[in-house]
Amino acid sequence: MTRAKICGIRDAGARDVAVAAGADAVGFVVEISRSKRSIDRGEARGLIQGLPPFVSSVIVVEPQSAAEAANLALDTGADVIQINDSLSFEDMATLKNMVPARLVATVPASPGGLNHARQMTRVADALLIDSFEGGKLGGTGTVHDWNLSSDLVRNVDVPLILAGGLDPENVAEAIEKVRPYAVDVSSGVETDGAKDPEKIKAFLKEVKSCHQP
């Protein structure tokens, strides 16, 4: 069964809706100034501490060094660190030895991204493929060419998480075409910039109803 992460959580209400609806993971954008969904590490830690067992906590960060990433992970107590393409391969390798958290490397959905993705599989526990638009990776709310994602699934040996413009209306088709390990959504379950409980429930219902061979 495909797993699902609800990302960009900023408050306990949205967190609890996601958990109750069956989210496998909940994501928090931490100290990324360009993101309207960003919260500070103290807020993230409080929200993470309120998660029940068996629901993973993920922080999405853009650190400039392995040490900065490690501090964010340790200060929040997150299970998983998602690095938004801000660290080199060498820094990712260093980080892997500094923290117990699992590492997810975000890679752009682009024709030339396969070599970069393959390199990151040597240090990351999973890859997240996301849309790249206007010089911005992730958080764009736009769908990319799912054929690129499908090719990546077939050519890497770590779990692949699909992101980019997903919503309750298209996630089933995306899963069928790409067959990812998991899907990730943020803006696709929002109304007027805020998490919408009904959209969260609808998205997770669609994901859980998909059956992969």
Tell me: the pLDDT tens digits for 162-201?
Answer: 999 999 999 999 999 999 999 999 999 999 999 999 999 9
The catalytic residue positions are 7, 130
Tell how strand 190-191 and strand 182-185 pair up. Answer: unpaired
Q: Which pLDDT band, with edges at 50, 70 and 90, does 140 fall under?
A: low
Rounded Cα–Cα distance for residues 130 and 145 (Å)? 10
Do the beta carbons of residue 130 and residue 95 sit within 8 Å? no
Count of domains for the chain: 1
Do the beta carbons of residue 28 and residue 47 sit within 8 Å? yes
Predicted model pTM:
0.93
Residue-level pLDDT at 213: 52
Instruction: Report the CATH number that the domain containing residue 153 is assigned in CATH.
Output: 3.20.20.70
Work out the percent of the chain whose per-residue pLDDT is above 90. Answer: 77
For residue 75, pLDDT over 60 is answered with: yes
* Tens digits of residue pLDDT in 17-58: 999 999 999 999 999 998 999 999 999 999 999 999 999 999
